[in-house]
Structure 1
């Protein structure tokens, strides 16, 4: 088993007044040649947007873009006519494919919105752009791995053009579970949303990231009440 630790404090940071963002991987003004991607996981941004503010319309192509709100409400509009409102418990995906322009803004004029912006390299280029979002029940991730994303449109959760699986988990203090890697050769990037956990023998804390590869499975132990996001992705581009 090979591992890679990214502590919360080691992330890139940008503050623009209306936007505070922490970058696990190189993004915009934060460029670190040692932290460009984890397999096909290209971007993991931890964003906070002030009330009434947001990202204006901008283009993307050939990227799978996943948004996971942590608190507050996020509004999406795109050039294909899609318009969605997402909040904590929802997962949104956009396959940019041949090209699409979209905007993301805080739906509230007063309360800030916190969300994860995640980019994954696709395994198919120049596909027809698509958009989807789903709501997931909190009780279905209590002391279990709740699948929220997969490569299969007929499987649980939203889907993307990549052999990737995302799971959310809310574990009680002391709870232990074994994660089984779904596809040989894949790695898993574990991101601690809240709390403390020991993953594959490594102690982790709030907003730490930990990559694991060359492993068929690993143990996740909650050292306190813990919320986790596990992103299983191919390790080769």
Structure 2
């Protein structure tokens, strides 16, 4: 097993007034040649958008884009004709494929919206653009890894054009849980949403991350306050 530790404080940071954002990988004006991607995982942004503000219309292509709201309401509009709102407990995917234009806005004028924006390289280019969202069964993540993004359609999750699995687990203090990879050769990028945990001797606190490669599985030990963790499993080649 090989691991790479990314403490929360090592992330890139930008404050644009209306947007406060942390970048796990090089993005916009943050550039770190050692933090370009983790396999097919290209972007993991931890965003907070002020009330009533947002990202104006902008284009994407050939990228699988996942949004996971953590607090508040995020309004999405795109050139495919979708106008939707995603909230805490939802997950959204957009396959940009041959090209799509979209915007994202905080639906509420009086409180921020917080969400993770995650980009994954697709397994094939120039697919037909598509959009989907799902309300998750958050109770299903208690004490186990609950899939929220998969390579093929399945109930309770969204899917993307990549051999990737996103799972969220909520683990009680002092418990031990195994993670078994879904595909040989993949790696897993663990991102601690809340609490703390230890993996392969490395303690991870809130918003810390650990990339795990060259392993078929590993053990996660939840800390004294428990842990809620996002596991992003992606091809490394």
Give deviations 1:21-57, integer Å, cap 9, x for gaps. 0000000000000100000000000000000000000
Query: Does the 8 Å CA contact 1:92/1:132 hold for their aligned counterparts?
Result: yes
Local SS of the residue matching 1:140? helix
Q: Match for residue 145 of structure 2?
A: 145
Q: Match for residue 234 of structure 1?
A: 235
The alignment's TM-score, normalised by the length of structure 2, stands at: 0.98
User: Which stretches in structure 1 are left out of the alignment for 5+ residues?
Assistant: none
Local SS of the residue matching 1:139? helix
Local SS of the residue matching 2:81? coil
Q: Counterparts of 1:78-157 in structure 2 under 5 Å? A: 78-154=78-154, 156-157=156-157
Cα drift, residue 156 of structure 1: 4.7
Query: Does residue 59 of the first structure (1) align with residue 59 of the second (2)?
Result: yes
Supply the distance in 1 between the matched residues of 2:90 and 2:155 (Cα, whole angstroms).
Answer: 17
Query: Does the 8 Å CA contact 1:179/1:217 hold for their aligned counterparts?
Result: yes
Supply the distance in 2 between the matched residues of 1:114 and 1:227 (Cα, whole angstroms).
Answer: 16
Supply the distance in 2 between the matched residues of 1:125 and 1:188 (Cα, whole angstroms).
Answer: 23
Q: Which moved more, 1:137-146 or 1:110-119?
A: 137-146
The alignment's TM-score, normalised by the length of structure 1, stands at: 0.98
Q: Which moved more, 1:26-35 or 1:145-154?
A: 145-154
Give deviations 1:191-220, integer Å, cap 9, x for gaps. 001111012321100000100010000001
Supply the distance in 2 between the matched residues of 1:97 and 1:23 (Cα, whole angstroms).
Answer: 23
Supply the distance in 1 between the matched residues of 2:16 and 2:89 (Cα, whole angstroms).
Answer: 27
Q: Match for residue 47 of structure 2?
A: 47
Query: Does the 8 Å CA contact 2:135/2:156 hold for their aligned counterparts?
Result: no
User: Which stretches in structure 2 are left out of the alignment for 5+ residues?
Assistant: none
4+ residue runs of structure 1 moved beyond 2 angstroms?
none
Local SS of the residue matching 2:116? strand
Supply the distance in 2 between the matched residues of 1:137 and 1:225 (Cα, whole angstroms).
Answer: 19
Cα drift, residue 113 of structure 1: 0.4
Cα drift, residue 155 of structure 1: 5.8
Q: Counterparts of 1:169-188 in structure 2 under 5 Å? A: 169-188=169-188
RMSD between aligned residues = 0.8
Supply the distance in 1 between the matched residues of 2:103 and 2:174 (Cα, whole angstroms).
Answer: 41
Query: Does the 8 Å CA contact 1:150/1:156 hold for their aligned counterparts?
Result: no
Supply the distance in 2 between the matched residues of 1:179 and 1:109 (Cα, whole angstroms).
Answer: 40
**Residue-pair matches, total:** 236
